[in-house]
């Protein structure tokens, strides 16, 4: 049946040449699991496009409604949280996939003549993916989105001469606001997709013209002359299936919560970028003052240019990594620096003292019972009773506070602090809170 239908279609559409270009592409040295990452990246792009289209059905790109529309997707829309999860984790997976794809290409020296153009188009694709990530991050319009984008935009502002102008173009004005959001939205869903599709087509076109590079030794390349179909297609499909299962599980199991709605006046908020920008965030912490532009634009510019023109910088004709100590050394050094910065950054993030839930409950009780009517903490509250800013240092004994809260007059004769009706749990929580008020937490 299928073949009769195929013959019918073929006699009308002349499919044989199409089949030849799509499936009969010879792979020097035969199919391999190491070649799957390009297809995986392409699959993830398609998934991002589809989930993105569905998110766009409900998303409203204005400061008044963006946050609520995401909340609506998360809580009301059928499969809304799942689709948003796919889009969120899919973005991470895409960064990993494109990274592995570039690593494989680099290791195999597959960027060497005659494939320089394919490498350069690939680097552009990588940059487009990172721009997708950056513009997409702002869209939920929560605190993290707003302040992380602020950091990114300010970095562009440090570029001499044109920095200020570029910053205004990115924001659509003097401040990060409504115009910025619609601008980022348009770039994310209209401009970038057109750009990426164009460059993907170009990338695949070049691949079809020059063919895949295959193993790094000619002897092994000559060993088999297998075609793309069936074994490579099968390997690609298996890994794509596994990647999808992984992303879907993450979307299902790991909630990706929104922080509070963006508040442009709350400058105290410390944003954390996505993990794939973390290494860079860490680097920025170490450079200050006159050296700052070095990290905010000189270094990224230099790295991007080196990546882009790498096939012309590395003139060594050998493809075997053993015979390319300089290239391999540079690659390993680059990876080591990026991964150490990432590790350091994650370590620092986790080193931030976690809020003790008892302390948090105690703080709520402090507000609820109106303790601030008499007491002052860091300048806020009344002045008729002792300042409690550092009471954890001056009165460190738990027992004293427990007794005091039960009956202030029993330990402080003549005190006019009222006796509050506290349960045992509340007594403990309130004590945990006042003990946490220290000079060095």
CA atoms within 13 A on the CB side of 404: 16
Token pair for 428: 């403990």
Task: Specify the residue, 69 or 363, whose C-beta has the smaller distance to ligand HEC.
Answer: 363
Maximal C-alpha separation, the chain: 103
Phi, psi of 282 (to 5 degrees): -65, -45
- Least distance (Å) between residue 379 CB and ligand HEC: 17
The residues that bridge with 28 in the sheet, in sequence order, are 225
Q: Does 117 bind ligand HEC (CB under 6 A)?
A: no
Total residues at the site for ligand HEC (CB under 6 A)? 22
For residues 66 and 141, the answer to whether their CB atoms sit within 8 Å is: yes
- Least distance (Å) between residue 439 CB and ligand HEC: 14
Which has the closest alpha carbon to 145: 134, 157, 156?
A: 134
Task: Specify the residue, 28 or 386, whose C-beta has the smaller distance to ligand HEC.
Answer: 386
- Least distance (Å) between residue 362 CB and ligand HEC: 8
Q: How does DSSP classify residue 62?
A: S
Annotate 348-382 with three-state secondary structure: HHHHCCCCCHHHHHHHHHHHHCCHHHCCEECCEEC
Residue 233: Cβ within 10 Å count:
15
Q: Does 434 bind ligand HEC (CB under 6 A)?
A: yes
Burial of 250 (0-12, 13-18, 19+ CB in 10 A): middle
Q: Which of 113, 418, 419, 425 binds ligand HEC (CB under 6 A)?
A: 418
Q: Which stretch binds ligand HEC (CB under 6 A): 25-33, 120-128, 347-355, 365-373?
A: 365-373
- Least distance (Å) between residue 426 CB and ligand HEC: 9
How many whole angstroms separate alpha carbon 328 and alpha carbon 191? 36
Instruction: List the interface residues with ligand HEC, window 147-166 (CB under 6 A).
Output: none
Q: Which stretch binds ligand HEC (CB under 6 A): 65-73, 114-122, 124-132, 413-421?
A: 413-421
Token pair for 157: 């502002």
Q: Which of 73, 149, 366, 426 binds ligand HEC (CB under 6 A)?
A: 366
Instruction: List the interface residues with ligand HEC, window 368-397 (CB under 6 A).
Output: 369, 371, 373-375, 385-386, 388, 391, 394-395
- Least distance (Å) between residue 388 CB and ligand HEC: 6
Which residues would be at the binding site for ligand HEC (CB under 6 A)? 366, 369, 371, 373-375, 385-386, 388, 391, 394-395, 401, 408, 412, 415-418, 420, 430, 434
């Amino acid at each position: 049946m299928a073949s009769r239908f195929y013959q019918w279609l073929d006699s009308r559409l002349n499919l044989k040449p199409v089949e030849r270009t799509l499936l009969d592409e010879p792979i020097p040295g035969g199919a391999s699991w190491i070649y799957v990452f390009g297809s995986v990246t392409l699959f993830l792009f398609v998934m991002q496009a589809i989930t993105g289209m569905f998110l766009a059905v409900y998303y409203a790109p204005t400061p008044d409604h963006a946050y609520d529309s995401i909340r609506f997707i998360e809580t009301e829309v059928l499969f809304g949280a799942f689709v948003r999860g796919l889009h969120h984790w899919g973005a991470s997976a895409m960064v990993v996939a494109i990274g592995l794809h570039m690593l494989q290409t680099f290791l195999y020296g597959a960027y060497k003549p005659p494939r320089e153009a394919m490498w350069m188009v690939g680097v552009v694709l990588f940059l487009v993916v990172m721009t997708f990530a950056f513009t997409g991050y702002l869209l939920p319009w929560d605190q993290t989105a707003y302040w992380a984008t602020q950091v990114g935009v300010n970095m562009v502002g440090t570029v001499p001469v044109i920095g200020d102008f570029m910053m205004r173009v990115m924001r659509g004005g003097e401040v990060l606001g409504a115009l910025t959001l619609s601008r980022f939205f348009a770039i994310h869903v209209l401009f970038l997709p057109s750009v990426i599709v164009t460059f993907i087509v170009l990338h695949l076109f070049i691949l079809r013209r020059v063919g895949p590079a295959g193993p790094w030794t000619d002897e092994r390349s000559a060993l088999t002359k297998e075609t793309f179909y069936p074994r490579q297609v099968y390997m690609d499909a298996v890994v794509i299936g596994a990647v999808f299962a992984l992303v879907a599980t993450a979307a299902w199991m790991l909630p990706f919560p929104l922080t509070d709605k963006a508040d442009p006046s709350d400058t105290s908020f410390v944003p954390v970028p996505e993990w794939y920008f973390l290494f860079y965030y860490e680097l920025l912490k170490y450079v200050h003052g006159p050296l700052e532009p070095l990290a905010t634009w000189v270094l990224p510019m230099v790295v991007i240019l080196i990546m882009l023109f790498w096939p012309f910088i590395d003139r060594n004709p050998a493809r075997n990594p053993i015979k390319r100590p300089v290239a391999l050394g540079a690659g390993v050094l680059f990876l080591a620096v990026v991964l150490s910065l990432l590790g350091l950054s994650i370590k620092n993030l986790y080193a931030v003292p976690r809020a003790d839930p008892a302390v948090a409950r105690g703080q709520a009780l402090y507000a609820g019972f109106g303790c601030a009517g008499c007491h002052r903490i860091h300048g806020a509250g009344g002045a008729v009773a002792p300042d409690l800013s550092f009471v954890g240092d001056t009165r460190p004994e738990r027992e004293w506070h427990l007794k005091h809260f039960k009956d202030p007059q029993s330990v402080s004769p003549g005190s006019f602090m009222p006796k509050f009706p506290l349960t045992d749990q509340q007594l403990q929580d309130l004590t945990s809170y006042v003990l946490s008020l220290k000079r060095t937490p």
